[in-house]
Amino acid sequence: MTEVVIVGAGFGGLEAAKALADAPASVNVTVIDKRNHHTFQPLLYQVATAGLNPSDIAQPIRQIIGRQPNCRVLMAEVTDVDPANRTLATTLGPIDFDYLIVATGATHAYFGNDDWERLAPGLKTVEDALDIRHRILLAFERAEASTDPSEQKRHMTFVVVGGGPTGVELAGAIREIATHTLRGQYRSIDTTESRVVLLEAGPRVLPTFAEKLSTAAADQLRSLGVDVFTSRAVTGIDDRGVDTGEGRIEASTVLWAAGVAASPLGRALSQASGVELDRSGRVKVGPSLTVPGFDNVFVIGDLAAATDAAGVTVPGVAPGAQQGGKHAVACIEADLDNRPRPEFVYFDKGSMATVGRSRAVVEIRRLRFSGFPAWVTWWLVHIWSLVGFRSRATVMAGWAWQYLTRRRDARLITNTPPLDP
Amino acid sequence: MTEVVIVGAGFGGLEAAKALADAPASVNVTVIDKRNHHTFQPLLYQVATAGLNPSDIAQPIRQIIGRQPNCRVLMAEVTDVDPANRTLATTLGPIDFDYLIVATGATHAYFGNDDWERLAPGLKTVEDALDIRHRILLAFERAEASTDPSEQKRHMTFVVVGGGPTGVELAGAIREIATHTLRGQYRSIDTTESRVVLLEAGPRVLPTFAEKLSTAAADQLRSLGVDVFTSRAVTGIDDRGVDTGEGRIEASTVLWAAGVAASPLGRALSQASGVELDRSGRVKVGPSLTVPGFDNVFVIGDLAAATDAAGVTVPGVAPGAQQGGKHAVACIEADLDNRPRPEFVYFDKGSMATVGRSRAVVEIRRLRFSGFPAWVTWWLVHIWSLVGFRSRATVMAGWAWQYLTRRRDARLITNTPPLDP
């Protein structure tokens, strides 16, 4: 038997597992993930802002691939990797492999300020999204319970650090909640007076997009009432606000969308195989997406620092991970057939970000547009990409309802003690 | 101004708040709840068994009554009550009242075995439901990860203690998950071999129903494959199983649906006013639902031990709480108009419980039936009763989908460390 082990059931790992459905009967597939669910990360900000439920954008891994006959799903954490002896250390004991596909993705980076993590959570998991949702909703409860105008103002100020797609989406959605969803439901405060600040250290928001789209996104955010500041780095965060090079902002809610670091399994792989890591801790794989010296060990998705056969840098987006997963499987099947392995050529499907209701930017190579047509494009692509039919139908229905009414029904605060004065 | 304070936004408190929408302009209403959401408790078991999302059955209190102009909503915990001085102690400081409606409901009772709470959670809140959902799903993950047949068997044994409606509903739903939803998604175990045991200390399940319906429910449970044992009291619970008078059951998941105790605010009210409590800690109110000596202090719903003007005992069900809320408001409005207060007469709307897909029992006074017609009745009544249109529509769509496919899409495990071997 040929044992193929996939670590991580994100976009890359799942695509690899599905591609192995038609592998020869001699192939066994094991998918290991520390969670029991796949998360559709591009829509996590909707869970964080109470528009969608966790299960709208997350699906049990077993539900997706558990009935594939050659595929076993294990809920475990991989703690170490030994490519020379072809074995993994996991919380369920050692697991051997003939081929290994590492697809454990990325997490938040606070650039050495680890104490900021508690103060300004990032958005990578369902747990993160629920934490952020609770913070946003509790801030309004605290403002309503307070009688001190400066405290009320602080509770009604939301700072989002980082102007990439996640930061832009969060800032726009919080502003929409404040101005529409919650309006009129409080007595001591007027939620439409909430302040949402987006801080970007670089010279423009959405830095990976064309410059005219950055300008469009910033304009769209400002039209929603978001205060957008570029070239403004955060120098300090505490539990009452944020310090920047140009002054302090008092805010009880600070959210982090600024830095990404590769998952720690990259470091373990580097120590065991000698493969280099880049500054973010990503594994520098060859153009075939394998670790130098170990052509049976693939690294795909956000964990890989990869350049394809044409010299194009593979970006950390879902299509990059999915294409990496398919390529790894194509190589394994070529080996089994004694054929030469194919080359990896990344196909750019474009990128997009939404700023809020009817506002978005889309860049598909030379094609660049913004506003309502971009928002419709963004919406169709994301609905279509969601895993599983039920999610697709309920997310569509939920969003249609939300669009018509501006309601957000997932506004539950759970696991929280009562407010102190 | 007349200050009406309502503590608790369950069925009774919400009904009172809504009934006060048409009160004279001189009336201010304050609704205090330690959670930000109203929970539709009759469907909590669906969240616990991954069929529904928390926000399908829970709604922000502000969403329901926050736009009612005379109504203020506070998220706080009431820690004490002083009827003589007409004031409450809360986590947000003291709050004065002219009229008080106490509707804080009930919680679990472990009859002195407080250490059982950690081992066998009950089902009263959204947090409880998510805890139970995680336990059930993790048990299957542990069984899949284990290689020891006796451990696998223990992980695949689920004991539900208590044969009232909640216990019956939980036992039936777990058996359905095991036999249909999860089937074929594991490699080391066959989930259809899971054992679900329902233990009832009394002589029959659903003891508040007519005897022929108890028999029907037990038969329906057995037809689903649930092991139903009556007259079997639990004598011990530990983290590996349950002891009964007639032997031990090894089980890694034990759920508690056996005992109900009134909320602790009843005790505070008793100490301050001298009102008597019954054995479960419920406040013994007069037929007008007021505390003797304080005709401005009403206790309604599960916290009240009440007998109506006709001598009928008011049961601890949603319609009882709602009718109590309406009665309290009618009394307050009568006082404001200088009219005599109305009498409280409880109207029995009947009771029902579901055992699973196409299985239920219904009792509406002399009318008693079971099976598919009862299930359709149960389903229509519960959909109709759900607060808010969106919940109704999505719950209907979700259930229709679940009925057709037997899928359950809310099967997420969150906030859980990876499995140990």
**By CA distance, what is A417's nearest residue in B?**
B34
Distance of CA B112 to the CA centre of its chain: 21
Q: How confident is the model at residue A417 (pLDDT cuts 50, 70, 90)?
A: low
Instruction: Give the closest residue to B295 by CA, choosing from B285, B308, B304.
Output: B285
Please count the other Cβ atoms lying within 10 Å of the Cβ belonging to residue A113. Answer: 15
- Provide the b/e sequence for A10-41 (b: ≥16 CB within 10 Å): bbbbbbbbbbbeebeeebbbbbbbbbbbbbbb
- Provide the b/e sequence for A162-178 (b: ≥16 CB within 10 Å): bbbbbbbbbbbbbbbbb
In this predicted structure, the answer to whether residue A390 has a pLDDT above a threshold of 70 is no
**By CA distance, what is A394's nearest residue in B?**
B394
Give the lowest-confidence range in A50-59, A131-140, B3-12, B215-224: A50-59
H-assigned helices in A109-257? 116-119, 126-145, 149-155, 165-176, 211-224
For residue B73, list chain A residues with Cβ-Cβ distance below 8 A: 144, 185
Strand B234-238 relative to strand B241-244, pairing: antiparallel
For residue A420, list chain B residues with Cβ-Cβ distance below 8 A: 91-92
CB pair distance less than 8 Å for B410 and A74: no
B34-50: per-residue pLDDT in tens? 999 999 998 899 899 98
End-to-end C-alpha distance for chain B, whole angstroms: 64
CB pair distance less than 8 Å for A411 and B187: no
Mutate to test the interface with A, among B1, B49, B61, B62 (most CBs of A within 10 A): B62
CB pair distance less than 8 Å for A419 and B76: yes
Name B33's bridge partners.
B75
Over residues A191-197, mean pLDDT: 97
Q: Which residue has the higher pLDDT, A326 or B419?
A: A326
pTM of the model: 0.90
Q: How far apart are CA A350 and CA A341, in angstroms?
A: 27
- Does residue A333 carry a catalytic annotation? no
Residues of B designated catalytic: 169
B293 Rama class: left (phi>0) / alpha (psi -120 to 50) / beta: left
CB pair distance less than 8 Å for A54 and B53: yes
The C-alpha R_g of chain A, in whole angstroms, comes to: 22
CB pair distance less than 8 Å for B407 and A390: yes
In this predicted structure, the answer to whether residue B103 has a pLDDT above a threshold of 90 is yes
Over residues B102-107, mean pLDDT: 95
**By CA distance, what is A77's nearest residue in B?**
B418
Inter-chain Cβ pairs, chain A and chain B, closer than 8 A = 155
B241-296: per-residue pLDDT in tens? 999 989 999 999 999 999 889 999 999 999 999 999 999 999 999 999 999 999 99
For residue A62, list chain B residues with Cβ-Cβ distance below 8 A: 182, 185-186
Q: How confident is the model at residue B55 (pLDDT cuts 50, 70, 90)?
A: confident
What is the pLDDT at residue B365? 87
Sequence-ordered list of residues with C-beta below 8 angstroms from that of A8, at least 6 positions apart, any chain: A32, A33, A102, A103, A104, A105, A263, A301, A303
What is the pLDDT at residue B392? 65
Q: Which of A15, A169, A176, A333 is catalytic?
A: A169
In this predicted structure, the answer to whether residue A388 has a pLDDT above a threshold of 70 is no
In this predicted structure, the answer to whether residue B220 has a pLDDT above a threshold of 60 is yes
Strand B294-299 relative to strand B99-102, pairing: parallel
Backbone dihedral angles phi then psi of residue B8, each to the nearest 5 degrees:
105, 125
Over residues B18-23, mean pLDDT: 95
What is the pLDDT at residue B416? 56
CA quadruple B368, B372, B375, B377: dihedral positive or negative?
Answer: negative
Please count the other Cβ atoms lying within 10 Å of the Cβ belonging to residue A279. Answer: 9
Instruction: Give the closest residue to A227 by CA, choosing from A140, A159, A132.
Output: A159
CB pair distance less than 8 Å for A412 and B34: no
Grouping H, G, I as helix, E, B as strand and the rest as coil, residue B334 is helix
CB pair distance less than 8 Å for B185 and A66: yes
A263-308: per-residue pLDDT in tens? 999 999 999 999 999 999 999 999 999 999 999 999 999 999 999 9
Contact between residue A197 and residue A172 where contact means Cβ atoms under 8 Å apart: no
Give the lowest-confidence range in A117-126, A399-408, B312-321: A399-408
CB pair distance less than 8 Å for A35 and B409: no
What is the pLDDT at residue A416? 56
For residue A419, list chain B residues with Cβ-Cβ distance below 8 A: 75-76, 91-92
For residue B37, list chain A residues with Cβ-Cβ distance below 8 A: 411-413
What is the pLDDT at residue A387? 62
Grouping H, G, I as helix, E, B as strand and the rest as coil, residue A159 is strand
CB pair distance less than 8 Å for A413 and B67: no
What is the pLDDT at residue B421? 42
CB pair distance less than 8 Å for B388 and A394: no
Grouping H, G, I as helix, E, B as strand and the rest as coil, residue B38 is strand
In this predicted structure, the answer to whether residue A384 has a pLDDT above a threshold of 90 is no
Among B54, B62, B91, select the one facing A185 at the smallest CB separation.
B62
- Provide the b/e sequence for B389-416 (b: ≥16 CB within 10 Å): ebbbebbeebbebbeeeebbbbbbbbeb
Backbone dihedral angles phi then psi of residue A227, each to the nearest 5 degrees:
-85, 110
Grouping H, G, I as helix, E, B as strand and the rest as coil, residue A254 is strand
What tokens does B170 get?
């939980």
Mutate to test the interface with A, among B52, B140, B401, B409 (most CBs of A within 10 A): B409
A124-145: per-residue pLDDT in tens? 999 999 999 999 999 999 999 9
A187 to chain B, closest Cα gap in Å: 6
Q: How confident is the model at residue A421 (pLDDT cuts 50, 70, 90)?
A: very low
Mutate to test the interface with B, among A411, A415, A416 (most CBs of B within 10 A): A411
**By CA distance, what is A37's nearest residue in B?**
B412
Mutate to test the interface with B, among A32, A61, A95, A141 (most CBs of B within 10 A): A141
**By CA distance, what is B76's nearest residue in A?**
A418
Q: How far apart are CA B28 and CA A38, in angstroms?
A: 48
Share of chain B above pLDDT 70, in %: 93
B9 to chain A, closest Cα gap in Å: 14
**By CA distance, what is A28's nearest residue in B?**
B187
B205 to chain A, closest Cα gap in Å: 32
Q: How far apart are CA B314 and CA B364, in angstroms?
A: 15
CB pair distance less than 8 Å for B390 and A413: no
Please count the other Cβ atoms lying within 10 Å of the Cβ belonging to residue A285. Answer: 25
Q: How far apart are CA B207 and CA B165, in angstroms?
A: 9
CB pair distance less than 8 Å for A413 and B58: no
For residue A56, list chain B residues with Cβ-Cβ distance below 8 A: 53
Sequence-ordered list of residues with C-beta below 8 angstroms from that of B94, at least 6 positions apart, any chain: B87, B88
Backbone dihedral angles phi then psi of residue B388, each to the nearest 5 degrees:
90, 140
> What mean pLDDT value characterizes chain A?
92
Contact between residue A108 and residue A162 where contact means Cβ atoms under 8 Å apart: no
What tokens does B126 get?
């959204």
What is the pLDDT at residue B393? 67
CB pair distance less than 8 Å for A145 and B391: no
Can you give the length of chain A in residues? 421
Name A29's bridge partners.
A4, A71
Strand B359-364 relative to strand B367-370, pairing: antiparallel
Backbone dihedral angles phi then psi of residue B133, each to the nearest 5 degrees:
-60, -45
Share of chain B above pLDDT 90, in %: 79
CB pair distance less than 8 Å for A419 and B91: yes
Residue type at A159 in one-letter notation: V
What is the pLDDT at residue B404? 73
Sequence-ordered list of residues with C-beta below 8 angstroms from that of B332, at least 6 positions apart, any chain: B2, B4, B20, B23, B27, B99
**Residue/partner pairs of A387-393 with CB below 8 Å, 24 or more apart:** A387/A14, A387/A38, A387/A40, A387/A59, A387/A64, A388/A59, A388/A63, A388/A64, A388/B409, A390/B398, A390/B401, A390/B407, A390/B409, A391/A40, A391/A55, A391/A56, A391/A57, A391/A59, A391/B409, A393/B397, A393/B401
B196 to chain A, closest Cα gap in Å: 22
Q: Where are the beta strands (DSSP E) in B34-93?
A: 37-39, 58-60, 71-75, 78-82, 87-90
Among A56, A59, A413, select the one facing B35 at the smallest CB separation.
A413
> What mean pLDDT value characterizes chain B?
92
What is the pLDDT at residue A4? 98
Q: How far apart are CA B235 and CA B246, in angstroms?
A: 10
Among A93, A401, A418, select the one facing B421 at the smallest CB separation.
A93
For residue A54, list chain B residues with Cβ-Cβ distance below 8 A: 53, 410, 412, 414
Among A73, A75, A127, select the one facing B415 at the smallest CB separation.
A127
For residue B421, list chain A residues with Cβ-Cβ distance below 8 A: 91-93
Over residues A173-186, mean pLDDT: 91
Contact between residue B208 and residue B202 where contact means Cβ atoms under 8 Å apart: no
Mutate to test the interface with A, among B92, B128, B140, B177 (most CBs of A within 10 A): B92
Q: How far apart are CA B308 and CA B343, in angstroms?
A: 8
Over residues A40-44, mean pLDDT: 90
CB pair distance less than 8 Å for B62 and A93: no
Contact between residue A20 and residue A62 where contact means Cβ atoms under 8 Å apart: no
B178-215: per-residue pLDDT in tens? 998 898 899 999 999 999 999 999 999 999 999 999 99
